[in-house]
Structure 1
Amino acid sequence: MRPVTAEPMEPLSASEEALVRALGRVIIVLPKLLDHDLRERAGISLTDYSILMHLSEAPDRQLRMSELAGRSDLSLSGMTRAVARLEGDGLVKRTRCGEDGRGWYAILTPAGLRRLEEAYPTHLWSTRRRISEHFAGLDEAEITRALDKVGCAGD
């Protein structure tokens, strides 16, 4: 391993350290809370909701499995397992890509769209309760820009 810089670095200030720790907690806890709310009130996991949501927003309600995995922040093998489960429930179907024959499309079924629409009020309630209410009165656009910079820092 090589050092990041040869220059001595200042330690984080108390406010920087507090921000880093709070953000770390949010990264770990928030998905668990949203998943809990969706499972308890709508009977669907956050992962499944996210897959259905991305498919509902895609042209013809279909995406290549690799693209869907990227949008959902899942590995391709994780996406394959999740879509197989959703396919078993009749919410998604898979079909071979006509362009190259190697890839697969995940396609949202009418039952999948209904399931997403049924879960949407719970997702909206949970999102407002767990996220939006805590930012009331703050500059949401500025917060969004800062979080986007953090999220895209690895790109």
Structure 2
Amino acid sequence: METTTATPWLTAEQQGVWRSFLGGTTALMDRLDRDLRTAHGLSMPEYEILVRLSEAPGRSIRMAELADAVGHSRSRVTHTIARLEREDIVVRGQCSDDGRGVSAVLTDHGLSTLEAAAHTHVQGVNDYLLDTAGAEDFAALGRVMQQVVEKLNGKGF
């Protein structure tokens, strides 16, 4: 037996909020990406990888774990790491714990690159988002997005 449910269409107000969210997140991420590319030759996905590596013990993460952490396919992360290797920002090596996997390791040059790029990125977040949203709105946005992450990455999905 087939069951159907009615689609819960958005109200006009909800539709307006949804479109504002889509437009705002797209514009924000595009601008942050453009700023990083212009000032440091890094894309937002590359910047995120460098941040994850900088926060890891020994500035090293298994490639598979890195792909999961940044939400990209393994092949996309492999391609990105290859580009960062050519710039001496990251090196690849065997995992120290079992020698079977491959890890990405942030080099000293990569850490310096990240430190410079972080100023550009954080200034952009301040200029484009924090200066626009009040503290209460920003906190509410954080709560909502955390709930989305938990719902989609947690139980049931």
CA deviation after TM superposition for structure 1 residue 41, in Å = 2.3
Q: Deviations over 1:36-83 (max 9, x none)?
A: 011112332212211111100111111111111122221100000111
The normalised TM-score by structure 2 is 0.85
Alignment match, 1:42:
40
Q: Which runs of 5+ in 2 are unaligned?
A: none
Q: What per-residue deviation string (whole Å, max 9, x for no partner) do you get for residues 77-124 of structure 1?
A: 000011111111111111112444432111111010011111121111
Most deviating of 89-98 and 21-30: 21-30
Is 1:134 equivalent to 2:132 in the alignment?
A: yes
Once the two structures are superposed, residues 8-50 of structure 1 have per-residue CA deviations (whole angstroms, 9 ceiling, x without a partner) of: 4553222211121122223433221110011112332212211
| Aligned match of 1:82 | 80
Q: CA 1:74/1:11 → structure 2, altered by over 3 Å: closer, same or farther?
A: closer
Off by >4 Å, runs of 4+ in structure 1: none
TM-superposed CA distance for 1:137, in Å, is 4.4
Q: CA RMSD in A?
A: 2.0
Number of residue-to-residue matches in the alignment? 152
Q: Which runs of 5+ in 1 are unaligned?
A: none
Relative to structure 1, the CA distance from residue 65 to residue 10 in structure 2 (aligned partners, 3 Å threshold; closer, same or farther) is: closer
Alpha-carbon distance between aligned partners in 1 of 2:38 and 2:8, rounded to the nearest angstrom: 46
Give TM-score, length-normalised by structure 1: 0.86
Tell me which residue corresponds to 1:121: 119
Alignment partners' CA distance in 1, 2:13 and 2:135:
20
Q: 2:143 aligns with which of 124, 138, 145?
A: 145
Q: Percent identity?
A: 36
Compared CA separation, residues 61 and 10, structure 1 to 2 (3 A): closer
Partner of 1:72: 70
Counterpart AA for 1:21: R
